Amino acid sequence: MPFSLAEFDYDLPPELIAQSPLAERTASRLLVVGNAHLEDRRFSDLPGLLRAGDLLVFNDTRVLHARLRGVRDSGGRVEVLIERPIGRHEALAQVRASHAPKPGSRLVLDDALDVEVVAREGEFYLLRFPGPDDLVDLVERHGKLPLPPYIQRQAEVNDEARYQTIYARERGSVAAPTAGLHFDAALLEALRNKGVALAWLTLHVGAGTFQPVRVDNLAHHQMHRERYVIPADTVDALATAHARGGRIIAVGTTSLRALEAAAQEGEIIAGPGETGLFILPGFRFRTADALITNFHLPKSTLLMLVSAFGGMENMRQAYRHAVAERYRFFSYGDAMFISRNDAS
């Protein structure tokens, strides 16, 4: 069934876009979404929604200091946002400048890095970074934390901690897996004490997650690609949860996307992969029974994914309810707990 972009639009008052995190991670609201059922809860209520034997799957990626500013060799200002490292010395990146840089030209970033523009690759540029140091180390040293474009301020000291999950460890993302921002150490301990199992995978979120969909007929949209790794311990935890009759709950669309990408050929196999999986309603989910996620932008591929998971009409009702009840939206906003709707 073909879908149009307009089917995934909704009206959002700008003042509902959260510009800063709450004082406590677990203080967010939680909208529980079932089949034609909505319930307003607090995120701290999460242990009461789960039972012993359930498994939560988290994305442990860590956000890089991926935003760098500088000048072109011709003197014009540039802003670079790393999309993904490629090896130790090269990266795909978005480059904002008054005139598009040409292959062979150079950028001086943070008054320290003499970066070569190697090639143009669609909306991105291939950049080569200087010296023997690893690219990721250079970016961490010279760059700034890249807050999403809908947050209308520069990153502050508080964001260094709050725009990372407390379990972030694998460096490589340019955006946080924001469903995980609601968890603190006390909540994780409460979940363990209840007999809920925890497992981790890594999917590095690229800058493409914020790119708008530019086609009306979604059959013509090409999804950006992202790298993931699923450890053997997580594959074992998934098998154990299934054997015990527990539910699999993906924490965030990134965790769900990695699980579904790994399951496309059948059973999930541990190891690395890369996915350009584009999930629309009608998609057959193989892995998760429920999803914890924040609210997503109108006309975004993430809204399409949750509509596929929870059912289009259920999600339309949920978003209308969230707007009417003044929930906080997007990265620093509130969350949803969505049960899978196999009828969708």
Residue 344 pLDDT more than 60? Answer: no
| Straight-line distance from the first to the last Cα atom of the chain, in angstroms, rounded to the nearest whole number | 12
DSSP string covering 57-89 = EEE-EEE---EEEEEETTS-EEEEEEEEEETTT
Beta strand pairing call for 29-34 and 37-42: antiparallel
Lowest pLDDT segment from 43-57, 84-98, 291-305: 84-98
The label of the residue with tokens 């892995």 reads: 287
pLDDT at 69: 95
pLDDT, average across residues 5-28: 97
* Residue 212 confidence class, pLDDT cut points 50, 70, 90: confident
* Residue 1 confidence class, pLDDT cut points 50, 70, 90: low
pLDDT at 288: 97
Average pLDDT, the chain: 94
CB 331 within 8 A of CB 209: no
Q: Looking at the DSSP assignment, which residues form a beta bridge with residue 199?
A: 57
Q: Is the dihedral of CA 300, 139, 141, 115 positive or negative?
A: negative
pLDDT at 225: 86
pLDDT, average across residues 81-87: 90
Considering the chain, what percentage of its residues have pLDDT values greater than 90? 88
- Using alpha carbons, select from 67, 62, 74, 130 the residue that is nearest to residue 95: 67
CA pair distance 154, 144, nearest whole angstrom: 9
CA pair distance 311, 305, nearest whole angstrom: 10
Beta strand pairing call for 248-251 and 55-59: parallel
What SS3 state is found at 10? coil
* Residue 35 confidence class, pLDDT cut points 50, 70, 90: confident
Structural domains in the chain plus CATH codes:
5-63+158-339 (3.40.1780.10), 67-142 (2.40.10)
Residue 261 pLDDT more than 90? Answer: yes
CA pair distance 61, 342, nearest whole angstrom: 29
What SS3 state is found at 279? coil
What SS3 state is found at 282? coil
The label of the residue with tokens 């053997």 reads: 232
Helix (H) or strand (E) holding 310: helix 301-310
CA pair distance 22, 315, nearest whole angstrom: 25
Residue 176 pLDDT more than 70? Answer: yes
Residue 171 neighbours by CB under 8 Å, 6+ apart? 61, 62, 64, 136, 140
Enter the pTM of the model. 0.94
pLDDT in tens, 144-169: 999 999 999 989 999 999 999 999 99
CA pair distance 250, 242, nearest whole angstrom: 14
Main-chain phi, psi angles of 183, to 5 degrees: -95, 135
- Using alpha carbons, select from 294, 256, 16 the residue that is nearest to residue 179: 294
CA pair distance 63, 51, nearest whole angstrom: 31
pLDDT, average across residues 37-58: 97
Q: Residue 14 gets which letter from DSSP?
A: G
Residue 263 CB neighbour total at 10 angstroms: 17
Residue 122 neighbours by CB under 8 Å, 6+ apart? none
Report the number of secondary-structure helices (H) and strands (E) in the chain.
8, 17
CA pair distance 14, 162, nearest whole angstrom: 22
CB 235 within 8 A of CB 94: no
